A and B are shown apart, each in its own frame.
Chain A
């Protein structure tokens, strides 16, 4: 395997693993620590939520079925508070789980049982998006209509108000704002934002975009900023002309 070469290539990241399978947790910890993650494992929902709120982790790996409170409740409580990266570990065959998870605002999901290499790839894709913030000082501020996105500070300002976005939502909007008014192919978007090939069965993009749409609609009079072009991709609409006409 070629993965051995990039061991410890990235700086230590704090990861919280909330899963009731104690043995799995201990093995995953061993595995992930080889790749430079510092893993804290918690086996109950309630204590897991407490740990997630107390400490700022780079990433939370969250199982759905948990004693105490379930994964969705934990995600809801985390999202009420912060845009912390969350990867849901859903049960294979429970298609509803992953849709609900993405709706509540999980950054990604992985059906169990999973291949640990796949988990590693997903974790890295999520962290790369966040990590891009520190290193992308040269990226200029992006402005489309009333939206002002700062890739360096990872902030979005809409009509002077701060909009809190999760990592995926931010990355999505960033890609779309680079080419406003143009259609961005979903294959391109999937690869750039989710870090994997587009799969027609995977509704992640749609879910993230619908959350993004909702957030953008809250602070704006424009309806439906992000248009879905069925079967092709997505498009950030420009309303500048209308705005100028009103002025």
Chain B
């Protein structure tokens, strides 16, 4: 959002400032004609004066020229074509070197000391060529365009830039503030916090009420409400169904056991009853998982957090899983880079790790290895513990990597039917990790297989706890 803020702010501010600068420049240019216009009029005056003085010289000689010079209070001189002063009693302006600037029509300007000497070629009516020299009594101030602009814009320009900046700032705030709020809410919503709403500001002014952003906020809240009620209804349905299934299942369990009591263990009926029992057990497990999931979805935070050593937790999960792994002729290895203690609920974390590990064992190829790696990674503020469980299974299509954490989601229905899972385990695991402010992701491994990665924030400042765990492990 910072990006948009700065973009709008910078563009508007520059635009406003440019508008002011350009319009000031236009005004200045209009009021003070440019050097060309100035020069043209100067040259025509010089030309006129040159002609008048040549006329005076031709008609009355040097005396007349001198009278002309005195009359106009200007220091002038007249030379012939090659530069010889025609009236020796008058100042020799042709003398002296200096910076010479040339202008069109062979007019030149030479700087001599503080003064400028203009020389203009003049052709008299008798077709004689002269050079008219004029030294204006004082140097006129040069019109430089930039200092001019600054001088004329001085009080207004900073004020305009400051005011422009301030108004743009407010404008951008008006734009981005609701956007920032909306984005934050949308992100929360995407992370599963369906109770998120954007607060509709109770603005008193008519100016802000009923604008498009307000309408957007209103619609967003409406959408979130719908979403929450729909998801809520779905969860409630799942939970109610599971609840209601418990009673008949409890009766079924007892009835089945009663039936087995009355049956000779060697008959075919016993085989059927055995199958019924296995299926009942599956149903039992499914309902247990569903109820676990729905009870976990109903809570948005856990109060009973305690320091939990992930190393210890994984070591507790492994023995049960190894039994399953052996049946599939695969092995489980655990490698930890150190001891990692996080703040959490032991039971939920156990469930998370257990479900992910069981899932990995379920899908890995026979004679392969399921690897568990525990390490830590630095984050902006603190460290996160990273638990990676990798299998050598068939992998998951890239497009479905995010979906596998949805309950009952199956990547390949035909293939996973025989694996014995329900597709609820990973959903339970993800929910548990989220309740610990962690993150769970899956990605495909090079060479086949999937890695599920659990990131959990490491508890800070409990070194004593760590040591206790370590000493306990040593004692064991």
Contact = CB atoms under 8 A, between A and B. Distances in A.
Contact of B294 (A93, A111, A185, A200): A93
A201 B350 contact: yes
A34 interface: yes
A93 B291 contact: yes
A4 B262 CA distance: 10
Contact of B255 (A27, A91, A115, A201): A27
A21 B468 contact: no
Interface in B451-476: 468-469, 472-473, 475-476
A185 B475 CA distance: 11
Given A21-B247, A232-B476, A1 B309 contact: no
A238 interface: no
Interface in B147-177: none
Contacts of A91: 243, 246
A21 B258 contact: no
Contacts of A21: 247, 250-251
Contacts of A203: 347
A231 interface: yes
Contacts of A115: 253, 257, 281, 284
A185 to B, nearest CB: 8
Given A1-B260, A27-B254, A231 B472 contact: yes
B251 A27 contact: yes
B234 interface: no
B259 to A, nearest CB: 10
B40 interface: no
B432 to A, nearest CB: 12
A23 B251 contact: yes
Interface in A98-133: 111-117
B35 interface: no
A4 B473 CA distance: 43
Interface string B235-272: 00000001100110111111101101100010000000
Contacts of A185: 476
B335 to A, nearest CB: 20
A223 interface: no
A115 B288 CA distance: 13
A184 to B, nearest CB: 12
A230 B250 contact: no
Given A31-B261, A113-B250, A201-B350, A230 B242 contact: no
Given A113-B246, A229-B472, A231-B473, A28 B260 contact: no
A227 to B, nearest CB: 11
Nearest to A93: B291
Given A1-B265, A201-B350, A116 B475 contact: no
B286 to A, nearest CB: 11
Contacts of A229: 472, 475
Contacts of B476: 185, 231-232
A30 B258 contact: yes
B294 A24 contact: no
B371 interface: no
A24 B469 contact: no
Nearest to A32: B254
B346 A200 contact: yes
A94 interface: yes
Contacts of B313: 200
Given A1-B260, A30-B258, A112 B472 contact: no
Contacts of B469: 230-231
A95 interface: yes
Which 8 A-B residue pairings sit nearest by Cβ, starting from the closest? A93-B291, A113-B250, A113-B249, A116-B257, A27-B254, A232-B476, A200-B316, A230-B472
Interface of B: 242-243, 246-247, 249-255, 257-258, 260-261, 265, 281, 284, 287-288, 290-292, 294-295, 309, 312-313, 316-317, 346-347, 350-351, 468-469, 472-473, 475-476
Interface of A: 1, 4, 21, 23-24, 27-28, 30-31, 34, 91-95, 111-117, 183, 185, 200-201, 203, 229-232
Given A1-B260, A27-B251, 19 more contacts: A1-B265, A24-B247, A27-B254, A31-B254, A31-B257, A31-B258, A93-B242, A93-B288, A93-B292, A95-B295, A113-B246, A113-B287, A200-B313, A200-B316, A201-B350, A201-B351, A229-B472, A229-B475, A230-B472
